[in-house]
Structure 1
Amino acid sequence: MKMNKLLACLLALWLGQAIAHGGEDHSGGAANPAAAIASDKPQRLPDGSVFVPKDAQRRLAIRTVVGEEKAVPRTVELNGHVVMDPNAGGRVQAIQSGRIEGGPKGLPVAGMKVVKGQVLGYVVPAVTSVERANQSAELADLGVKARLAEKQLARLRELSGTVPKKEVEAQESELAGLRQRAAALGAATGREALRAPVSGVIAQASVVSGQVVEARDVLFEIVDPARLMIEALAYDAKLVASLTDASLSGTQTPLTFVGGATAFRDGALPVLFRLKQAGANPLALGQAVKVVAQTRDSVKGVPLPAASVVRNSANESIVWVHERAEVFRGVPVQVTPLDGANVVAAGLKPGARVVTSGATLINQIR
């Protein structure tokens, strides 16, 4: 009898333990999100969101802004380069071939300031010994003729009462002609002065003393750094007609649309822009730039700083949305440049709090 009671007690105890453990899940599944974020370190959660504690947000300087959908001008990105203003820059070229000599202050170098009319150097004409001998002989002949004409004119003036006045005038004209011929020939054999066509800064100097140059060679380029222009290339006449303002890509440097060509050049239409604020951004002649130009068309989206947009592992454009106090989620968006420093993101819900500073750091958390 005692044995039966003992077996009954053991059976009751076993059934109680089985019932107590009947609701457990032994499937070995992933831990729930609450367990995943039970840590004080930034980490990426299984659902793709990122957990960043408050103290880490302060260290990473995370900043957010509430996105507001609005209509903004549609923009296009154009390739361009820096060119000189034709009214504030110029080139110094040789009219004839010859040898370079320094000016009164020597030859200028890149970066040197010059004023209009300043002598930058000289070109000594390149002539052979035979040509030089012929020129010297011709100058000597003209000199002899001029002296004879002077003596003849002096005799005629002494006989002014008996010699007709027209003979005196003819002799005077002949003497003047001989002198002009001698002066012209002397100038042709002399050196050519190279003068600055405008005031500005030497952008390029490609000569040294003694260098032999050919006619039409560009010796110096002079620009006004405060009045440089941007020449971009467009491939659609309708686009050129709809352009308004613009800015340099990656900066907040505003540009003013000057005008666009109506004739194709190498398959493209040149478009000119000018800096709204002279000297606002240091540029170099010939520098390649990208221009974000606004058109008269509009597009709807959420304006954001360009730093808000990053790339995920699938190379998609995303922004990080502050979903909860310490949780951020990446949202894929379609991005259109707004100006050089801002973009328009389509695909965001209005009112979403978007990370504007520190998005790259959040994107690196694993």
Structure 2
Amino acid sequence: MRLLSIVTAFIFITHTASAAPGAHGPNGEHITNEEKVVGQLGRQADGSVIMPMPTQAMLGIATQIVTETTISKTIKMSGVVRPHPEGHAVVQPSSDGRFEAPESGVLTSGKSVKAGQVLGYVHYQDTAYELASQNSELKVVRNQIAQTRRDVDRLKSLGELASKQELDQLQTQLKNLTEQEYALQQGLEKPEALVAPIGGTIINNNIRNGQWIEAGTDLFEIIALDLRLVDATTSEVAHLTSLSQATLLENSAVKLSYIGYSPRISGGLASVHFESRGEDDSAAPLLLGQPVTVIAPVDSSINGLVLPAKALVKNSANLPVVWIKVSAERFMPQAVRYQTLGENEIVVIAGLGADNRVVTAGASLLNQVR
């Protein structure tokens, strides 16, 4: 509304504009005639916009002359961020029991953990009968250990009169009983420690202190910060063997390395796989399940006009257009075909000729003038 008010303020001014030498189509034809255009400021009957120089400066309208260049062709693929096998770990208990938090408390999702850090404990709990039976067995073993130790001490006190063979047998028996006691004690008295296998950000799968859990349950997941997979799909199967590197339309700072493609087509689309290692801390994080757009160069080149992505807007028919400055105060929309080069650049491959002065800043504001 502010833009419309600015244009309306000059509604009674008469403007004369003629086509500039650079205002031409892709085949050299003039986009506008050189007759005088007389009318109100703002949108004209032919779709052009008349805007005084002071208003252009206030709205930050900037232009540049474009020239044709040869660049590598790119393909655009829809993708989803997945966890990398090397940077994804699950923490599961090996037996049923009750979860006990460590001294630091139950870790919540989003916390950073280090490899080897204790995330909690699982106290084994059996039926009352089995528990009583195992406790009884443990007491028997401990009594046998005590008796064997007394026998060993008695033989040692005899000195040279003691039978060396009998002493060796008792010491071996004592060692076996001690190992049996440790095994029973581990199952009955000492909880199972849950340890982080890798460092990263933790995901708590709704685990609470004292909760009954079953063996094999995914209690926690750990995601490394610097490893991600991106699974994408494309119908351009002819280029599958020529892919190598790629970027994301949403975040050009993230660099992707090509892993390979699936040998099976699903729904007419091939699945291709990329990985990201060493994510830039300054870049927006890649979240698991996040939809992304992958831009990958292929082994072919195209001729086109490279422009900032903000130079491209949509007209009332939802077609992509750029705005050409045809005179000091007159702008004309031009429908184009383009390809995306990255987060901040496009290449126009049809609909626009070289040496035109194209609006590169403020095109969205200019496009709103009515």
* TM norm structure 2: 0.80
TM-superposed deviation, 1:35: 5.6
C-alpha distance 33-307 of structure 1, shift in aligned 2 (>3 A): same
Would you say the 8 A contact 2:75–2:295 is kept in 1? yes
2:169 is the counterpart of 1:170: yes
Task: In structure 2, give the amino acid aligned to 1:47.
Answer: D
- Structure 2 match to 1:14: none
Q: Secondary structure of 2:325's match?
A: strand
Would you say the 8 A contact 1:78–1:232 is kept in 2? no
Q: Deviations over 1:17-53 (max 9, x none)?
A: xxxxxxxxxxxxxxx974633x4x3x22222222122
Would you say the 8 A contact 1:253–1:275 is kept in 2? no
C-alpha distance 159-209 of structure 1, shift in aligned 2 (>3 A): same
- Please list, as runs of the form range in 1=range in 2, the aligned pairs for 1:239-318 lying within 5 A after superposition: 239-261=239-261, 264=264, 268-274=270-276, 278-283=280-285, 284-318=287-321
Q: Secondary structure of 1:271's match?
A: strand
Task: In structure 1, give the amino acid aligned to 2:184.
Answer: L
- Please list, as runs of the form range in 1=range in 2, the aligned pairs for 1:9-48 lying within 5 A after superposition: 34=36, 36-37=38-39, 39=40, 41=41, 43-48=42-47
2:368 is the counterpart of 1:364: yes
Number of aligned residue pairs: give it: 331
TM-superposed deviation, 1:182: 0.9
Q: Deviations over 1:212-267 (max 9, x none)?
A: 22222222223343x13241223566534222332221343241315225555978
Would you say the 8 A contact 2:108–2:204 is kept in 1? yes
- Structure 2 match to 1:138: 137
- Structure 2 match to 1:152: 151
C-alpha distance 254-73 of structure 1, shift in aligned 2 (>3 A): farther
Runs of 4+ off more than 6 Å: none
Q: Deviations over 1:261-289 (max 9, x none)?
A: 55559785341232665223131333332
Which of 338, 349, 352 is the matching residue for 2:353?
A: 349
TM-superposed deviation, 1:120: 1.7
Would you say the 8 A contact 2:251–2:284 is kept in 1? no
TM-superposed deviation, 1:337: 1.0
For 1:301 and 1:35, locate their aligned partners in 2 and report how far apart those are by CA, in whole Å: 32
- Structure 1 match to 2:121: 122
- Structure 1 match to 2:4: none
RMSD: 2.6
- Structure 1 match to 2:5: none
For 1:91 and 1:265, locate their aligned partners in 2 and report how far apart those are by CA, in whole Å: 30
Would you say the 8 A contact 2:49–2:332 is kept in 1? yes
Would you say the 8 A contact 1:36–1:45 is kept in 2? no
For 1:149 and 1:270, locate their aligned partners in 2 and report how far apart those are by CA, in whole Å: 67
Percent identity of equivalent pairs = 31
Task: In structure 2, give the amino acid aligned to 1:285.
Answer: L
TM-superposed deviation, 1:163: 5.5
For 1:275 and 1:161, locate their aligned partners in 2 and report how far apart those are by CA, in whole Å: 69
Consecutive unaligned residues in structure 1, runs of 5 or more:
1-31
2:82 is the counterpart of 1:78: no
Q: Deviations over 1:88-112 (max 9, x none)?
A: 5533222222211110211112232
Q: Secondary structure of 2:175's match?
A: helix
Consecutive unaligned residues in structure 2, runs of 5 or more:
1-33
TM-superposed deviation, 1:167: 3.1
Q: Deviations over 1:284-307 (max 9, x none)?
A: 333332222222322221111222
For 2:91 and 2:137, locate their aligned partners in 1 and report how far apart those are by CA, in whole Å: 32
For 1:321 and 1:358, locate their aligned partners in 2 and report how far apart those are by CA, in whole Å: 12
Task: In structure 2, give the amino acid aligned to 1:75.
Answer: T
Structure (1 or 2) with the larger CA radius of gyration: 1
For 1:164 and 1:278, locate their aligned partners in 2 and report how far apart those are by CA, in whole Å: 72
Would you say the 8 A contact 1:251–1:341 is kept in 2? no
